[in-house]
Amino acid sequence: MDNNIVFSVYEVTRHLRQVIESTIEPLYVAGEVSGFVHHSSGHMYFNLKDENATLRCTFFKGANYRLDFSPKDGMQVVCFGKLTVFEKGGTYNLNVQSMSQAGLGSMQLKFEALKKKLQQEGLFDPANKQPIPRYPERIGIVTSPTGAALQDIQNILMRRYPVEVIVYPALVQGTEAPAQLCAGVRYFNATRDVDVIIVTRGGGSQEDLFCFNDEALARTIFASKLPVISAVGHEIDFTLADFVADLRAPTPSAAAELAVPDKKDLLTLLNALRNRIQIGFERDLANKKNPLWDLQLRLSQYHPEKLWQSYQQRFDLACLGLANSLSLVTAKRVNFEAKTQSLVGLFGKLSGIMLSQSESRIKLARHRLLDAMNSGMLMRKNVLQSKAELLNQLSPRQIQSKGWVMVCKDGKVLRSVKQVAVQDKLTLDFSDGCARATVTETEEKS
Closest Cα to residue 262, out of 402, 158, 408? 158
pLDDT of the residue at 243: 94
Last residue in a domain, options 208, 234, 261? 261
* Cβ atoms 50, 31 nearer than 8 A: yes
Residue 7 has pLDDT above 90, yes or no: no
Both 162 and 228 in one domain: the answer is yes
Q: Is residue 74 part of a domain?
A: yes
The CA radius of gyration of the chain, in Å to the nearest whole number, is 57
CATH number of the domain residue 202 falls in: 3.40.50.261
Q: What is the span of the domain harbouring residue 60? A: 9-117
Instruction: Give the Cα separation of 355 and 342 in Å (integer).
Output: 15
Both 387 and 405 in one domain: the answer is no
Last residue in a domain, options 209, 242, 261? 261
Both 161 and 237 in one domain: the answer is yes
Q: Is residue 126 part of a domain?
A: no
Both 207 and 239 in one domain: the answer is yes
Both 383 and 410 in one domain: the answer is no
Both 232 and 252 in one domain: the answer is yes
Percent of the chain with pLDDT over 70: 91
Closest Cα to residue 319, out of 224, 381, 388, 402? 388
Q: What is the DSSP letter of 77?
A: E
Tens digits of residue pLDDT in 31-58: 999 999 999 999 999 999 988 899 999 9
Both 221 and 321 in one domain: the answer is no
Both 28 and 74 in one domain: the answer is yes
Which helix (H) or strand (E) segment holds residue 229: the answer is strand 228-232
93-109 b/e with 16+ CB inside 10 Å = b?
Answer: bbbbbebbbeebbebbe
Both 323 and 406 in one domain: the answer is no
Q: Is residue 205 part of a domain?
A: yes
Q: Is residue 444 part of a domain?
A: yes
Q: Is residue 290 part of a domain?
A: no
Name residue 268's amino acid.
Answer: T
Both 141 and 252 in one domain: the answer is yes
Contacts of 439 (CB under 8 A, 6+ apart): 420, 421, 422, 423, 424, 426
Q: Is residue 284 part of a domain?
A: no
Percent of the chain with pLDDT over 90: 36
Structural domain total, the chain = 4
Distances (CA, A) of 44 to 64, 65, 84, 443: 8, 10, 16, 96
Both 95 and 141 in one domain: the answer is no
Tens digits of residue pLDDT in 327-371: 887 887 888 888 888 777 776 676 566 656 667 777 887 888 888
Last residue in a domain, options 205, 231, 261? 261
pLDDT of the residue at 323: 81
Both 217 and 238 in one domain: the answer is yes
* Cβ atoms 229, 132 nearer than 8 A: yes
The tally of CA atoms less than 13 A away on the side-chain side of residue 292 is: 7
Q: Is residue 373 part of a domain?
A: yes
CATH number of the domain residue 73 falls in: 2.40.50.140
* Cβ atoms 417, 423 nearer than 8 A: no
The verdict on pTM exceeding 0.95 is no
Tens digits of residue pLDDT in 363-398: 887 888 888 888 888 898 888 888 888 887 777 777
Q: Is residue 234 part of a domain?
A: yes
